[in-house]
Structure 1
Amino acid sequence: MPGLPPGKVPVELLERYVFKRIGVGSASVLLGPSYGEDSAVVSAGGFTFATHVDPVTAASRLAGWLSVHVACNDVAVTGAEPRWLLTVILLPEGAGEGLLDELTGQVDRAAREVGAMVVGGHTEVTPGLGRPIIVTTAIGAVAGGYVTTGGARPGDVVVMTKTAAVEGTAVLATDFEAELKRRGVPGDVVEAGKRYLERVSVVREALQLAGYGLATSMHDPTEGGILGGLAEIAHASGVRVVVREEDVPVSRETRLIAEALGVDPLRLLGSGSLLATVPGDRVGEALEVLGEAGVKARVIGRVLEAPPGGAGVELVRRDGRVERLPRLVQDEVYKLF
């Protein structure tokens, strides 16, 4: 039997081996394990909480910072403000005190940025690891109704904040700095790419849209990038999403770094961009709210009704070709790691 490819496990295997094996069911679980959903939502003591756990495996020097922001993003897209964190830090054999200092410093700074507290976790040196792995659980309270990935409806439009591959740009500029410069990428582009690290949080824009009740669904595109995130929205919602390649913003730094390393920026680690579906008659309001929060956003696609079994994403390429995306979009970063 062939081994599984790196990255997210194929959806059919999740449905066969993961989603059905959940122990004892509970009426307090409002949103449990399902394809494309960023967080679980539970009710306890009269309050509603969203929680998410995520590993950072495709980054090395930025793992601490990303672990906090990626987990907090996934909680915020439900409309919950992330407040509490549990962090598991796995260090490779031979790691020195300096690495632990660097990673926990990143965790601390990221937690302070989003206003959350690390309340527990675990730290160890793990045999067999080639680089550090950090797994962070984020928990937040939902103030009003919660938002799901699977809430997109025909007639909605797809709004995207910032640019594609924010997280991927920061990771590649940091972990592949020497290789990028060797391949002719200007030093100022690499340095600018590193600073994309400062853009990976979507907490502010997600809470803004949720607070005004503008989003029918929200999603933090991580593995698989923008296209992977769109595929998860489409399949979780049972709709057809049509997006034009030319409408998806890609920054100069991202484009140059991706070209040098031979990867597709639309399929590259996407945390830092928020994907949201908004009713067509409220899109102007949504863009205004985001603009007032200092967040650039634009419409990149539309949501249509799907025929039975026809949910998915259609990508209209620049040359007019229509590409139907698979249910699971593999991330380009694994070509390099």
Structure 2
Amino acid sequence: MLKAGKVPPELLKSSVYPYVGKLRKEVLVHSGFGEDCSIIDFGDSVAVLSTDPITGADIHSSHLAVYVSCNDVAACGAEPIGILVTLLLPIGSNESLLKELMKEINEAANKVGIEILGGHSEITSAVSKSIISTTAIGITGKDKFVTSSGAKPGDAIIVTKTLGLEGSAILASDFEEFLIKKLPRETIEKAKNFIEKISVVDDGIIASKVGVSAMHDITEGGLLGACYEVAEASGVGVEIYQDLLPILPETQDICKAFGINPLGLISSGSMFICTPFADEVIAALNESKIDAAVIGKVTSQEQGKFIVSSGKKCPIVPFERDELYNAIEKVHNQL
């Protein structure tokens, strides 16, 4: 039986990617492991599309639904222009819930600068809580798009902001009663506000203009998942240095309270960037008040995937599921 969370890589390869219909010549980037977007040829420009549901969060689900799909589009160096929204509400929902969700989606869309293009809304017994799924559409030049599969040996690996922002915000907001017994209220309130840092649209667009080989929004699976996906998609190795990883004290405290590893925690708000122009990319990001740091390098496939801690190399293996689900399960088991 499959556990909650993303379908594991080996099952995607065996049970999903062999069944993607007829490949079209207009599609420049097809479905594949590590690629969150499809890219379609429209002459001088390309359309970049990505879709994502929000299932692990309750309080911030509307905002996250907008950010996560737009972040994927920005990871391709494209400017998001709009989203399609699917709302599935449980039986017993009322108009006020529908209106509140749409107001929150509208607020996030205005912050990103995109239009809500349409979608579908339904009340159904198939769900026990509201499920929001968005499909983002972006545009960029045909010679400017970026993929997850372009990393090259010798590239520096950069991450923006700090790791675990999304996971920290979700856990602080949805499980405040659990955390208040373990952490100061100030820590919890700071973590709640991480929701304001979830967008990486600017991160992706700025970095792509300077010059990057590959980018990936660090979402479910956390940093280790992103490392693995980019390395597999690009056919390269990676070496990450533990002591260079930016993790805020609030995230460290929350992860300790739940007994989870921040490197496997969903981390929307941080972009994973591979580039031969590390200094220039960091300078451009810093100029726009976006923190960024080199955390490792891309190596050859033969050199493998490792994280280096205290001089010791440990193989990078993606978590069976995101640590967010392990945290949620621990709370529910205590109820």
TM-score by length of 1: 0.93
Residue 45 of structure 1 and its aligned partner are, at CA, apart by 5.3
SS of the aligned residue for 1:336 comes to helix
User: 2-side partners of 1:14 and 1:73: how far apart?
Assistant: 22
Aligned pair partner of 1:325 in 316, 322, 334: 316
Partner of 1:216: 213
**1 CA distance for matches of 2:32 and 2:55?**
22
Structure 1 runs not aligned, ≥5 long: none
The equivalent position to 1:229 in structure 2, one of 207, 226, 244, is 226
Opposite residue 168 of structure 2, the aligned amino acid is T
CA contact (8 A) 1:50 1:139 kept: yes
Residue 159 of structure 1 corresponds to which residue in structure 2?
Answer: 158
Once the two structures are overlaid, the 10-residue window that deviates more, 52-61 or 98-107, is: 98-107
Preserved contact between residue 54 and residue 61 of structure 2 (Cα < 8 Å): yes
Letter in 2 for 1:336: A
**Cα offset for 1:4?**
1.1
Identity of matched residues, %: 39
2:331 corresponds in structure 1 to: none
Question: Match of 1:117, as an amino acid?
Answer: E
AA matched with 2:214:
S
State the one-letter code of the partner of 1:51: L
The 1:175–1:85 alpha-carbon spacing in structure 2 relative to 1, beyond 3 Å, is same
Deviation at 1:107, TM superposition (A): 0.7
Q: 2:300 — aligned with what? A: 305
Report how many aligned residue pairs link the two structures.
327
When residues 223 and 34 of structure 1 are mapped into structure 2, their CA distance, relative to the original with a 3 A threshold, is same
Q: Give the Cα separation in 2 of the matches to 1:284 and 1:223.
A: 28
2:332 corresponds in structure 1 to none
Q: Residue in 1 aligned with 2:286?
A: 291
Which structure 1 residue ranges, 4+ long, deviate > 6 Å from structure 2? none
**Conserved 8 A contact 1:218-1:276:** yes
SS at match of 1:74: helix
- Write the deviation string for residues 301-320 of structure 1: whole angstroms up to 9, x where unpaired: 1111122xx75x31123x44
Aligned to 2:306: 314
5+ residue gaps in structure 2?
A: 329-335
- Tell me which residue corresponds to 1:27: 25
Aligned partner of 1:265 in structure 2 is 262
- SS for the counterpart of 2:314 is strand
Give the Å deviation of 1:328.
5.9
Q: Secondary structure at the residue paired with 2:307?
A: strand
The reply to whether residue 334 of structure 1 matches residue 325 of structure 2 is yes
Residues 161, 329 of structure 1: CA spacing in aligned structure 2 closer, same or farther, 3 A cutoff? farther
Counterpart Cα distance in 2 of 1:218 and 1:155: 15
SS in 2 for 1:26: coil
What RMSD, in angstroms, separates the aligned Cα atoms of the two structures?
1.5
The Cα of 1:128 is off from its aligned counterpart by 4.4
Asked if structure 1 preserves the Cα contact closer than 8 Å seen for 2:265 and 2:323, the reply is yes
Q: 1:251 aligns with which of 248, 253, 259?
A: 248
SS at match of 2:59: coil
CA distance in 1, matches of 2:263, 2:306: 14
